């Protein structure tokens, strides 16, 4: 049984098996040898195995094999063989000396590896060829770069290092075939050289990629112009196999020495920009900006730092009081984030908040703020305080699909909290194109939790008007930049007035931020805005200081005294005029008595451009008051405005002492005119 098995194994083995006796005479072969060599069994038996090898397989190899067998009883290697029909093949041969029936035999295994060898040869040829081609060009590029950069250094000029890749070249390969495609590639350098100077270089870098080094470049504009020329010359049809073929290219480039690295680095930068050019729609140029690279690295580093800071609890919330002007009641606070940086100290949002936008940290930071604020609100409520707490969230964060479930989950962790005192200020709503999602969230927050929402920084975004109409918000926050400047800039004043009127017409509450003085509050009240927040009251404070502030807090009586204005529009309008004029006199005094080199705001000297002038114009147009009254007011204003302007003129003429003395002399007259105005206002209350 075993013998039959062995016989079959011998007979049907895939490899050729040749057995010779100690005199190198073949005593047996299997079927595979017959198939491989073309000889029959009977032709081979009794022959010397050399019959299988080629003439070129020199005697030395045969001797080596034989000697190795004598000495070691084993040989293994490749041989060059010949078939009966004369064709050659490469075989792997292993021969082993064996002993059987008391005699020495040699057992040889033979397999055809011709195909394998051929494949490897092609492969290594390919690799060798490509590499050597590339190495050669790389060396040439290095030489060219070193030559041209020295010239550029001497001439104080720039060098363009450009990376060019043909667009959709694979399609040309597929449609026209490899030979035609290669032919086209060969034509490229010549074409490109026609628009460059003789000393510039273009070298093939790989497949359909080329590197260009162009000298004598003064600036980016010229660099880009030169490359545009290259692109247009390439865009002209090529003739390949008598057929016109069109191709375009994308180019990225960098300017040496503005970008001052090794050639490898410059090529890498140009390559990155070429990729951007591809993304930009191909057939175009993209320039490398070294500053951008620095910015990107810095930003990434800062983002890592911010992510760690969230983990390490380095952020804190400060709280800025919000007040009802007419009562002086502090009804709540805005939570504003700060970064207690271990090295840099306390950082304000302008140092880090923009950086997190459009990254996943935008959401992480928002989540941190929500958690902290809920905790704070819960603590206040437990202590019996009924404060409202508002937080800032970006419109993007609110619009993420996970927001509402995540938020609900957080709220669940504070089962006793009255969420009606929680408010979300929506930031950057102009970054959001789809308002429907955010509108749903605002609606949900209100219906499920009674949470109110405010549109922050109102007036700054392009689409604020749409937002007030589309989003079901409860409050509009007039942006602090307008509020802060409203007393000195009539244009800002108009915006504040406009926003307040807009909010009122939509029946939405309005709050002004950036209230830096009593006068700001007075004007706002006269305009109909009764809620405010700003440095006049308090800056954002850490929690411990906030508690101390609240203990010591005394409402401003000037604001409380104006509560009646909210009910009497006529009185409010005239009060507004009174505040404008009072502020004008205040500015006049500040200017005249400050040292000339100290910068203070100049009172506006052009009637039509001043707050009072604009007010008078409007009052006449809308018939706010009867004509007699209006004329009386006009006279009062005129007396102050004219005298004030005369004083400013003499101040400007260098007669500083005289102008100051003039003011002191007329101060009583100014005050009495203002008092008359106040009396008119009071009379309106009756």
Output the smallest distance, CB 250 to ligand C2E, in A: 38
Q: Is 269 or 485 the residue whose CB approaches ligand C2E more closely?
A: 485
CB of 647 to ligand C2E, least distance (A): 31
Residue 531 in contact with ligand C2E, rule: CB under 6 A: no
Question: SS3 for 571-639, per residue?
Answer: HHHHHHHHHHHHHHHHHHHHHHHCCCCCCCCCCCCCHHHCHHHHHHHHHHHHCCCCHHHHHHHHHHHHH
Span 284-323, contacts to ligand C2E by CB under 6 A: 320
CA distance 659 to 651: 5
Span interacting with ligand C2E, options 101-109, 251-259, 532-540, 541-549, rule CB under 6 A: 532-540
Q: What DSSP element (H or E) covers 67?
A: helix 59-72
3-state secondary structure of 452: strand
Minimal distance in Å, beta carbon 335 to ligand C2E?
6
With contacts defined by CB under 6 A, how many residues of the chain interact with ligand C2E? 24
Residue pair 190/183 in contact (Cβ under 8 Å)? The answer is: no
Element (H, E) at 64: helix 59-72
Segment near ligand C2E (CB under 6 A), from 34-42, 170-178, 285-293, 514-522?
Answer: 514-522
Residue 348, binding choice from ligand C2E, Mg ion, none, Cβ under 5 to 8 Å by partner class = ligand C2E
**Under a CB-based contact definition with an 8 Å cutoff, are residues 325 and 521 in contact?**
yes
Identify which of residues 468 and 616 has a Cβ nearer to ligand C2E in the complex. Answer: 468
Q: Are 588 and 648 in contact (CB under 8 A)?
A: yes
3 state SS for 516-540: CCHHHHHHHHHHCCCEEECCCCCCC
- Residue 644 binding target from Mg ion, ligand C2E, none, CB below 5 to 8 Å by type: none
**Rounded distance between C-alpha atoms, residue 133 and residue 137, angstroms:** 6
Please state, in angstroms and rounded to a whole number, the distance separating the CA atoms of residues 73 and 183.
57
Q: Which residue among 534, 603, 644, 662 contacts ligand C2E (CB under 6 A)? A: 534
Residue 457 touches ligand C2E, criterion: CB under 6 A: yes
- Report the distance separating Cα 500 and Cα 515, nearest Å: 15
Bridge partners of 606, per DSSP, are none
174 vs 168, 179, 239, 317, 486, CA distance in Å?
10, 11, 17, 62, 68
Interface with ligand C2E includes 521 (CB under 6 A)?
no
Q: Check: CB of residue 152 under 8 Å from CB of residue 158.
A: yes
Which 585-644 residues touch ligand C2E, going by CB under 6 A? none
535 binds ligand C2E (CB under 6 A): yes
The listed partner (Mg ion, ligand C2E, none) that binds 497, CB under 5 to 8 Å by sort, is none
Q: Does 454 bind ligand C2E (CB under 6 A)?
A: no
Question: What is the closest distance, in whole angstroms, from the C-beta atom of residue 479 to Mg ion in the complex?
Answer: 6
Binding status of residue 215 toward ligand C2E by CB under 6 A: no
Q: Which residues bind Mg ion (CB under 5 A)?
A: 392, 425, 456-457
Please identify, using beta-carbon distances, which residue of 271 and 425 lies nearer to Mg ion: 425
Does 16 help bind ligand C2E (rule: CB under 6 A)? Answer: no
Least CB distance from residue 428 to ligand C2E, whole Å? 8
Let me know: does 226 contact 255? Beta carbons within 8 Å.
Answer: no
Secondary structure percentages of the chain, helix, strand, coil, to 5: 55, 20, 25
For residue 516, state whether it binds ligand C2E (rule: CB under 6 A): yes
C-beta atoms surrounding 143 within 10 Å: 11
Residue with smaller CB distance to Mg ion, 261 or 349:
349
Q: Which is nearer to Mg ion, 217 or 503 (CB)?
A: 503
- Within positions 346 to 375, which residues make up the interface with ligand C2E, using CB under 6 A? 348-350, 353, 369
Nearer to ligand C2E, 464 or 480 (CB): 480
What the block records as the tokens of 332 is 């709540």
Between 393 and 681, whose beta carbon lies closer to Mg ion?
A: 393
157 part of the interface to ligand C2E, by CB under 6 A: no
Residue 529 engages ligand C2E in binding (rule: CB under 6 A): no
459 part of the interface to ligand C2E, by CB under 6 A: no
Stretch that binds ligand C2E, among 75-83, 534-542, 567-575, 602-610 (CB under 6 A): 534-542
Q: How far is Cα 523 from Cα 577, in angstroms, rounded to an integer?
A: 9
Q: Which of 81, 173, 324, 480 binds ligand C2E (CB under 6 A)?
A: 480
Residues that bind ligand C2E (CB under 6 A): 320, 336-337, 348-350, 353, 369, 392, 394, 425, 427, 456-457, 480, 484, 513-516, 533-535, 540
């Amino acid at each position: 049984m075993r013998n039959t098995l062995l016989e079959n194994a011998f007979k049907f083995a895939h490899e050729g098996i040749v057995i010779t006796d100690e005199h190198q005479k073949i005593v047996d072969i299997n079927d595979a040898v017959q198939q491989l060599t073309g000889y029959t069994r009977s032709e081979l038996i009794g022959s010397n195995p050399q019959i299988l090898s080629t003439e070129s397989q020199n005697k030395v190899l045969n001797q080596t094999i034989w000697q190795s067998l004598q000495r070691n009883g084993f040989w293994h290697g490749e041989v060059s063989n010949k078939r009966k029909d004369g064709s050659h093949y490469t075989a792997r041969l292993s021969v082993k000396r064996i002993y059987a029936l008391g005699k020495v035999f040699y057992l040889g295994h033979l397999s055809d590896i011709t195909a394998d060898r051929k494949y490897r040869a092609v492969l290594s040829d390919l690799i060798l060829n490509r590499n050597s081609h590339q190495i050669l060009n790389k060396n040439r590029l290095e030489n060219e770069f070193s030559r041209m950069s020295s010239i550029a250094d001497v001439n104080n000029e720039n060098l363009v290092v450009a990376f060019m890749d043909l667009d959709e070249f694979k399609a040309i390969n597929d449609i026209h075939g490899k030979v035609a495609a290669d032919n086209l590639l060969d034509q490229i350098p010549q074409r490109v050289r026609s628009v460059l100077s003789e000393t510039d270089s273009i070298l093939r870098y790989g497949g359909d990629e080329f590197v260009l080094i162009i000298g004598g470049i003064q600036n980016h504009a010229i660099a880009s112009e030169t490359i545009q020329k290259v692109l247009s010359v390439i865009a002209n049809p090529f003739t390949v196999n008598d057929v016109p073929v069109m191709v375009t290219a994308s180019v990225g480039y960098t300017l040496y020495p503005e970008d001052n690295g090794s050639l490898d680095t410059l090529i890498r930068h140009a390559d990155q920009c070429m990729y951007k050019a591809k993304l930009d729609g191909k057939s175009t140029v993209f320039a490398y900006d070294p500053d951008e690279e620095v910015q990107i690295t810095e930003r990434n580093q800062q983002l890592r730092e911010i992510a760690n800071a969230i983990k390490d609890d380095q952020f804190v919330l400060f709280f800025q009081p919000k007040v009802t002007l007419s009562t002086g009641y502090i009804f709540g606070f805005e939570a504003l984030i700060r970064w207690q940086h271990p090295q840099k100290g306390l950082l304000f949002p302008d140092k880090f908040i923009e950086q997190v936008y459009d990254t996943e940290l935008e959401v992480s930071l928002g989540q941190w703020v929500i958690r902290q604020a809920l905790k704070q609100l819960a603590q206040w409520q437990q202590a019996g305080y009924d404060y409202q707490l508002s937080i800032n969230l970006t419109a993007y964060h609110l619009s993420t699909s996970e927001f509402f479930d995540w938020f609900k989950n957080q709220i669940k962790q504070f089962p006793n909290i009255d969420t009606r005192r929680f408010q979300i200020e929506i930031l950057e709503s102009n970054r959001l194109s789809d308002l429907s999602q955010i509108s749903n969230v605002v609606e949900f927050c209100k219906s499920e939790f009674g949470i109110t929402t405010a549109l922050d920084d109102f007036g700054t975004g392009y689409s604020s008007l749409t937002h007030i109409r589309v989003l079901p918000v409860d409050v509009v926050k007039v942006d602090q930049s307008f509020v802060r400047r409203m007393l000195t800039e009539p244009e800002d004043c108009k915006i504040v007035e406009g926003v307040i009127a807009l909010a009122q017409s939509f029946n939405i509450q309005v709050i002004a931020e950036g209230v830096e003085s009593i006068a700001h509050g007075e004007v706002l009240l006269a305009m109909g805005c009764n809620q405010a927040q700003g440095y006049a009251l308090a800056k954002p404070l850490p929690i411990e200081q906030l508690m101390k502030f609240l203990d010591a807090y005394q409402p401003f009586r000037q604001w409380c005294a104006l509560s009646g204005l909210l009910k009497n529009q006529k009185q409010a309008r005239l009060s507004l005029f009174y505040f404008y004029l009072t502020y004008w006199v205040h500015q006049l005094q500040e200017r005249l008595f400050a040292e000339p080199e100290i910068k203070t705001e100049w009172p506006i000297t052009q009637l039509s451009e001043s707050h009072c002038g604009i007010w008078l114009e409007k009052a006449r147009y809308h018939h706010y008051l009867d004509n007699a009254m209006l004329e009386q007011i006009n006279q009062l204003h005129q007396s102050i405005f004219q005298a004030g302007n005369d004083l400013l003129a003499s101040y400007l003429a260098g007669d500083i002492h005289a102008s100051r003395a003039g003011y002191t002399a007329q101060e009583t007259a100014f005050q009495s005119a203002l008092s008359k105005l106040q009396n008119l206002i009071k009379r309106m209350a009756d």
